[in-house]
Amino acid sequence: MYNIAVIPGDGTGPEVVREGLKVLDAISGLSGFKLNYVHYDLGGDRYQRSGEVLPDGVLSELRGFDAIYLGAIGHPDVKPGILEKGLLLRLRFELDQYINLRPVKLYQGVDTPLKDKKPEDIDFVVIRENTEGQYVGAGGFLRKGTPDEIAIQESISTRKGVDRCLRYAYLCAKKRNKAKKVTLCGKTNVLTYTFDLWERAFHEIGQKEFPDITRDYAHVDATVMWMVKNPEWFDVIVTENMFGDIITDLGAMIQGGMGIAAGGNINPEGVSMFEPIGGSAPKYTGQNVVNPLAAIGAAAMMLEIIGEAEAALRIEKAIEFVCANKLKSMAAGKMGYTTAQVGDLVTKNL
């Protein structure tokens, strides 16, 4: 029995989470484990109603779960930053989910905008550091609102934070057992403090602890170029928070779009949180047209991390089958099925 906190959140979050839970219920029945859900009403609507974003009492309850399943955060009527920082980033930081795990995998039958690239060419994982960098919110204004205004946004990297992220990336390459290669994505030619630390740690840890894993380096601007031109060169990419944020949206596009891209905010020693990486999609909300496969894929990742790898694999296989044989497109409104019907299709093919 696993206790799962469910945060459907904003926009299309509730619609896709409903399909994820449908699939989870089915697979737990088939596999012989139980999932016990507790739903939390968090997000833009609650904030507008009550002014509450993430009450401390809720946060301390969340620490007690086996995992958190999240739909989407972001509301068109709430000023940008309030929910993102107050809810999503606060959860990542407070629960010390220091890895953002974002697989980029093109399934058979899914269209990629990259000409001539096939599923065997697009299959890598981005390990994004998830608790440091510019995301920590260090900085401030000086003389705000005057012509002499100064805005500072600092990027923080700690040896401990970098080390644990790199180790996770090496372990991931080892576990995947494919090209056994980790590419550090950085900017050593300009960010000469941050990436000096990253690069030193990368080679020290790699050399000492993972001698059989190939080490590779690419500047972030080159990384996005190769992701488009030669995605087959990548096995595991490891990078800092902001670069990881940016390159994984490109990753989502080359694997077929936001409708299929899943991610996990992982604390290997604590409570992890799983989400489709696309946003709340306000313009599609309530229409039963968005693709729930990213949310279903996030549910599969959740099972894998909590220790139900076989069930996770069955969900992934069902997603692959549905992509290859059923859906006309991954895009909202163009799938040939409703959101709920896609959830049913995956459930039927477990």
Residues marked active site are found at 135, 187, 221, 245, 249
Q: Which of residues 106-165 bind Mn ion (CB under 5 A)?
A: none
With CB cut-offs between 5 and 8 Å by kind, which of ligand IPM, Mn ion, none does residue 19 bind?
none
Closest approach of Cβ 251 to Mn ion, in Å?
10
Which residues contact ligand IPM (rule: CB under 6 A)?
A: 84, 88-89, 245, 277
Longest dimension (CA), the chain: 65
CB of 180 to ligand IPM, least distance (A): 27
Shortest CB 134 distance to Mn ion, Å: 13
Partner in contact with 84, chosen from Mn ion, ligand IPM, none, beta carbon below 5 to 8 Å by kind: ligand IPM
Nearest to Mn ion of 137, 140 (CB atom): 137
* Nearest CB to Mn ion, comparing residues 129 and 245: 245
Q: Where are the alpha helices (DSSP H) in 210-338?
A: 220-229, 241-254, 293-306, 309-325
* Cβ–Cβ < 8 Å for 310, 34: no
In the bound complex, which residue of the shown chain has the CB atom lying closest to Mn ion? 245
Tell me how far, at minimum, the Cβ of 27 lies from ligand IPM, in Å. Answer: 25
Which of residues 19 and 245 has its CB atom nearest to Mn ion in the complex? 245
Burial of 233 (0-12, 13-18, 19+ CB in 10 A): middle
Written as one string, the DSSP assignment of 78-146 is S-TTHHIIIIIIHHHHHTT--EEEEEEEPPTT---SSTT--GGG-EEEEEEE-SSBGGG--EEEESTTS
Q: Which is nearer to ligand IPM, 93 or 233 (CB)?
A: 93
By CB under 5 A, what part of segment 230-249 binds Mn ion? 245
Taking alpha carbons only, the member of 127, 122, 81 closest to residue 102 is 127
Q: Which of 220, 102, 225 is nearest to 169 (CA)?
A: 102
Chain residues in the site for Mn ion (CB under 5 A)? 245
